[in-house]
């Protein structure tokens, strides 16, 4: 096969992929297969040529349709996917040189992402232009960019629930070392300094490490982890900053408790509990003693009431409370457990 034949073949394949991905019922398996095909830079370039050619082809088709209406030409049978793909590929081959020249002369400017954020102690629900709803927990920020191929969300900090409208275009959330892809479902993503946790509330999502090859533990991941995981409702996948993954199950019958202003701790260290509560208030809980910070606690607490949390600790641990300005210091009142 010569270079021209190979290029034409790539354009035909790209056109068929373009047709498939525009279908309203496109599934995740199709998107996964497309991503594998697009990894070849030559295939990706061919797909971009098809995308660049579509507006020109579309205008041509509209002109033909208008002419057909004037001359009352009978409607033709609906064209098949392969016929449409072949037409796109043929037109793209003709337009490729011109499109490449235009792209080289001036690279298209990407639209600015839409940004949303919540303040400390605030919960905020936002309806996106595609009908999806995002609920931001305290001190959370996201950036959203819509393209023809995906609805892309970057969780820059914090915690959010995504209730995804089914449009046929994948909804992708990147956070830390994770990339979560969905079509129509509901899931929570929580970005922490130590890593990210994805919890599926309903439907199905596919989670992969967004930069697997650069993660310190990527060479130790098993094949399933390297390909990513498809979660079931109640699954929580935690991905540490070094790429380590832990899959667990949680109770989702009542939904995330933070939506009711409640935090629940199950055998976590006092340091972890304080860090979580500090997200919800400008009054910060400080535990300067390392041994006290390592004490483990469980319980349910009001998220925005750090003083009440500290008062409860007096009943659970040998601790004394000292309030200084907007800080609550927890210091040992007696010997802690070694």
The answer to whether residue 80 scores a pLDDT higher than 70 is: no
Average pLDDT over residues 3-27: 73
331 vs 103: which has the higher pLDDT: 331
Indicate the Cα dihedral angle 223, 227, 233, 237, nearest 10°: 70
Average pLDDT over residues 312-333: 91
Supply the pLDDT for residue 44: 79
DSSP class of residue 218? G
Question: Of the ranges 140-144, 180-184, 245-249, which one carries the lowest mean pLDDT score?
Answer: 180-184
CATH assignment at residue 322: 3.55.50.30
Supply the pLDDT for residue 55: 54
The answer to whether residue 281 scores a pLDDT higher than 70 is: yes
153 vs 335: which has the higher pLDDT: 153
Same structural domain, 87 and 56: yes
Write out the residue range of the structural domain in which residue 283 sits: 261-332
Supply the pLDDT for residue 64: 46
Q: What is the DSSP string of 16-82?
A: HHHHHHTSTT--HHHHHHHHHHHTSHHHHHHHHHHHHHHHHHHHHHHHHHHHHHHTTPPPPPPPPHH
Longest alpha-carbon distance in the chain: 95
109 vs 31: which has the higher pLDDT: 31
- Out of 194, 222, 249, a domain closes at 249
Average pLDDT over residues 67-74: 43
Q: How many domains does the chain have?
A: 3
CATH assignment at residue 226: 2.60.120.1440
- Out of 189, 216, 249, a domain closes at 249
Average pLDDT over residues 125-136: 93
Supply the pLDDT for residue 34: 81
Q: What percent of the chain has pLDDT over 70?
A: 72
Instruction: Give the pLDDT band of residue 210 (cuts 50, 70, 90).
Output: low
Average pLDDT over residues 134-154: 93
258 vs 221: which has the higher pLDDT: 258
Residue 199, in any domain of the structure: yes
- Out of 249, 273, 293, a domain closes at 249
The answer to whether residue 86 scores a pLDDT higher than 70 is: no
Query: Which among 324, 321, 320, 322 has a CA at the least distance from the CA of 334?
Result: 320
Whole-prediction pTM: 0.64
326 vs 100: which has the higher pLDDT: 326
Count of residues in the chain:
338
C-alpha angle 196-159-116 in degrees, rounded to nearest 5: 125
DSSP class of residue 193? T
Q: What percent of the chain has pLDDT over 90?
A: 48
Average pLDDT over residues 36-58: 72
Residue 46, in any domain of the structure: yes
């Amino acid at each position: 096969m010569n270079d021209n034949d190979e290029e034409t073949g790539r354009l035909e394949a790209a056109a068929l992929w373009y047709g498939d991905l525009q279908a309203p019922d496109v599934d995740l398996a199709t998107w996964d297969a497309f991503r594998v095909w697009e990894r070849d830079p030559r295939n990706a370039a061919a797909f971009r040529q098809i995308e660049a050619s579509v507006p020109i082809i579309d205008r041509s088709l509209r002109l033909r349709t208008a002419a057909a209406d004037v001359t009352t030409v009978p409607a033709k049978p609906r064209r098949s996917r392969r016929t449409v793909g072949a037409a796109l590929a043929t037109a793209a081959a003709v337009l490729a040189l011109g499109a490449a020249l235009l792209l080289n002369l001036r690279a298209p400017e990407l639209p600015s992402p839409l940004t949303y954020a919540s303040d400390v102690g605030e919960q905020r629900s936002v309806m996106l232009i595609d009908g999806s709803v995002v609920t931001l927990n305290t001190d959370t920020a996201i950036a959203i960019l819509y393209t023809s191929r995906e609805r892309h969300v970057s969780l820059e900090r914090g915690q959010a629930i995504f209730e995804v409208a089914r449009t046929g275009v994948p909804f992708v959330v990147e956070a830390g070392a994770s990339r979560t892809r969905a079509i129509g479902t509901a899931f929570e993503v929580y970005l922490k300094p130590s890593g990210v946790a994805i919890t599926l509330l309903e439907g199905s999502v596919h989670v992969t490490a967004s930069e697997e090859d650069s993660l310190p533990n990527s060479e130790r991941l098993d094949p399933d982890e390297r390909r990513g995981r498809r979660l079931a409702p109640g699954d929580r996948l935690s991905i540490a900053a070094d790429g380590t993954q832990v899959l667990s199950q949680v109770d989702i019958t009542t939904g995330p408790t933070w939506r009711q202003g409640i935090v629940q701790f199950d055998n976590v260290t006092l340091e972890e509990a304080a860090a979580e509560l500090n997200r919800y208030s400008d009054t910060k809980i400080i535990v300067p003693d390392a041994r006290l910070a390592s004490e483990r606690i469980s319980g349910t607490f009001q998220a925005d009431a750090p003083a009440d949390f500290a008062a409860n600790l007096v009943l659970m641990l040998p601790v004394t409370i000292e309030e200084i300005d907007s800080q609550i210091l927890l210091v040992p009142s007696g010997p802690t457990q070694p």
